[in-house]
Amino acid sequence: MKIKLNENFKNVSESYLFSTINKKVAEYKEQNPNAPIIKMGIGDVTLPLPKIVIDAMLKATREMGEIDTFRGYPPEWGYTFTKEAVQKYYKNYNVSLTLDDIFISDGAKTDVSNILDILGHNEVYITSPVYPVYIDSNTMNGNSIHIIEGNKGNRFLPLPVGLDNSAKVIYLCSPNNPTGASYTYDELKMWVDYAKSTGSLIIFDSAYEAFIEDKNIPHSIFELEGARECALEIGSLSKSCGFTGVRCGYTIIPANLEINKIWKRREATKFNGVSYVTQRAAEQALSPEGVKACQENIAYYKRNAKALAECFDELGIFYTGGHNSPYIWLECPNGMKSWDFFDFLLTKANVIGTPGVGFGGEGYFRLTSFNTYENTLEAIERIKKVLKK
Please give the residue ranges that form the binding site for ligand PLP (CB under 6 A). Answer: 107-109, 131, 173, 177, 205, 207, 236, 238-239, 244, 249
Residue number, 236 or 350, with CB nearest to ligand PLP: 236
Q: How far is the CB of 145 from ligand PLP (least distance, A)?
A: 17
Sheet containing 327-331: order of strands:
319-321, 327-331, 364-368, 354-355
Q: How far is the CB of 321 from ligand PLP (least distance, A)?
A: 12
Residue number, 109 or 189, with CB nearest to ligand PLP: 109
Q: How far is the CB of 130 from ligand PLP (least distance, A)?
A: 8
Residue nearest to ligand PLP as judged by C-beta position: 107
d(CA 169, CA 321): 26
- What phi and psi values does residue 66 have, to the nearest 5 degrees? -120, 140
Q: Beta-carbon neighbour count of residue 270 at 10 Å?
A: 10
Q: How far is the CB of 177 from ligand PLP (least distance, A)?
A: 4
Q: How far is the CB of 247 from ligand PLP (least distance, A)?
A: 7
Q: How far is the CB of 80 from ligand PLP (least distance, A)?
A: 22
Residue number, 76 or 209, with CB nearest to ligand PLP: 209
Q: How far is the CB of 384 from ligand PLP (least distance, A)?
A: 28
Whether the CB-CB separation of 274 and 287 falls below 8 Å is answered with: no
Q: What angle do CA 8, 258, 126 make, to 5 degrees?
A: 40
Whether the CB-CB separation of 131 and 141 falls below 8 Å is answered with: no
Whether the CB-CB separation of 269 and 119 falls below 8 Å is answered with: no
Q: How far is the CB of 320 from ligand PLP (least distance, A)?
A: 15
Residue number, 114 or 244, with CB nearest to ligand PLP: 244
Residue number, 50 or 242, with CB nearest to ligand PLP: 242
Report which of 353, 302, 294 is spatially closest to residue 325, judged by C-alpha positions: 302
Q: How far is the CB of 282 from ligand PLP (least distance, A)?
A: 11
d(CA 75, CA 67): 19
Residue number, 184 or 244, with CB nearest to ligand PLP: 244
Residue number, 238 or 324, with CB nearest to ligand PLP: 238
Residue number, 207 or 345, with CB nearest to ligand PLP: 207
Give the bridge partners for 328, in sequence order: 321, 367
Residue number, 60 or 248, with CB nearest to ligand PLP: 248
Listing DSSP states for 34-81 in one string gives: T---EE----S--SPPPHHHHHHHHHHHHHTTSTTT---SPPTT--HH
- CB half-sphere exposure, 6, CA atoms < 13 A: 11
Contacting residues for 63 by C-beta, under 8 A, at least 6 apart: 69, 70, 71, 276
d(CA 378, CA 382): 6
Contacting residues for 244 by C-beta, under 8 A, at least 6 apart: 44, 45, 238
